[in-house]
Amino acid sequence: MQAINPLDGRYYEKTRALAPYFSEQALMKYRVMVECQYLLSLSLLGKTSLKKFSQREIKLLEDLYEKFDDISYTKIKDFEKVTNHDVKAVEYFIKEELKGTTLKSSLEWVHFALTSEDTNNVAYALILSNSIENVMIPEVERIIIILKMFTTKYSDLPMLSRTHGQSATPTTFGKEMKVFQVRLEKQISKLKSIKIEAKLNGATGNWSAHTSAYPKVDWMKFSNNFINQFNKVGSNSRIIKLVNNSYTTQIETHDSYIEVFDTLKRVNSILLDFSQDMWRYISDNWIIQIPKSGEVGSSTMPHKINPIDFENSEGNLGIANALFEFFARKLPISRLQRDLSDSTVERAFGTAFGHSYLGYTSLLKGLSKISINENKIKEDLLDHSEVVAEAIQTVLRSLDYPIPYEALKELTRGKKVTMDDFQIFIDNLKVSSKVKSELKKFTPLTYTGLASKIAKK
């Protein structure tokens, strides 16, 4: 293939779930939807000279976007070759489709008093809302389900922690999975609560054209109702809702877009963090990758099973976040009442979503091919007896024992110690037999604090 972008080349089949939202054809379909719904809303308003449409005429309008296909798209692109303006091409397409119908007398009401940004911003608001609700959130929730399974199954599996890359106070595998689970749940909850702003107020945000023709109509109320109508999808209510923004220049401010992108960026950062941790667990042989027949891990080393799914996830999530960060810097800024630099940037939304989605699916694929090596996890933990030094010195502190931290530091820092070394150390302490007995109960396998309880909570 000659595709420049890998999303439309190497990863074409893997990103098709987003094509109904972010392809050029999808954008045209959404624009047609907005224009047709606007025309219908004007008809239902009953306060202009536009006639009230019959049920058959309403069906004609709805069919223009519900049955939008390759032929429809080609017609629009043919108009665009002449107009060199994509939204005007959409207007001409709708008029062309309606001119042989009973709506032929209403053609000049198509795109009435609107600027192209009125159509565009509502279309993009719907694209973002639908793609997040139907594709992005469900994929992340699949990851959360797997994390919940790990959390439950391995809540009591003791595991060596590492801080600064060095052995540290033990935890449990389930508790560490719980951390990622809860982090993701918080962000998904925030994502679902975001309301995407959209506007329908003309060339500079003042409804000037609207009021010039019909000064007595409450156009603010009309616009609010128009935006809110999109929050119903059949008999269901949309999760990511749209709200009207009455305070704009020609363009919608895009501030709510940035809320979306920043939240997705946090989701991606959490999953990137998770991918890196899983990579390290695989490297330590704490997680075993299940080999797939026919696959190879290296062109020269036959034994290799590389953690490529977690590496692909990390890379794609990084690309996505770089774009989301750029969107956050670029989109809230526009020269005076309007410049067009946001238009080409908006067309890259699908690229950021595509790489995010690839990150999610790659991670899910990686998680489907692993098993937890409980014996190795315990074996490595037992090889790091030094981790109980914290427990011993803390208990001694609570008893006002002199300089316990320094004593344990002398015993352990930079040294390989065993539990026998701790037994000797404890025997030499000037404390009661009862305290010595309690101190000897600390082992790497049992010194996990409330980790199990945290995982099960």
Q: In this predicted model, what pLDDT tens digit does every residue of 138-186 receive, in sequence order?
A: 999 999 999 999 999 999 999 999 999 999 999 999 999 999 999 999 9
- The CATH fold of domain 384-456: Ribonucleotide Reductase Protein R1; domain 1 (1.10.40)
Across 69-84, average pLDDT: 98
Q: Is 46 exposed, middle or buried (0-12, 13-18, 19+ CB in 10 A)?
A: exposed
Map out the domains of the chain as residue ranges. Answer: 14-112, 118-135+197-374, 384-456
- Here the tokens at position 393 are 């010195």
- The DSSP H or E segment spanning 169 is strand 166-172
Q: Reply yes or no on whether 164 is catalytic.
A: yes
Q: In this predicted model, what pLDDT tens digit does every residue of 248-306 receive, in sequence order?
A: 999 999 999 999 999 999 999 999 999 999 999 999 999 999 988 888 877 888 888 89
Q: In this predicted model, what pLDDT tens digit does every residue of 341-365 receive, in sequence order?
A: 999 999 999 999 999 999 999 999 9
pLDDT exceeds cutoff 70 at 1: no
Active-site residue, from 105, 208, 283, 298: 298
Superfamily of domain 14-112 in the CATH hierarchy = Fumarase/aspartase (N-terminal domain) (1.10.275.10)
Active-site residue, from 49, 164, 293, 299: 164
Per the CB < 8 A criterion, the answer to whether 276 and 230 are in contact is no
* Confidence at 3, pLDDT banded by 50, 70, 90: confident
Q: How far apart are CA 154 and CA 161, in angstroms?
A: 15
> pTM to 2 decimals?
0.95
CATH class of 118-135+197-374: mainly alpha
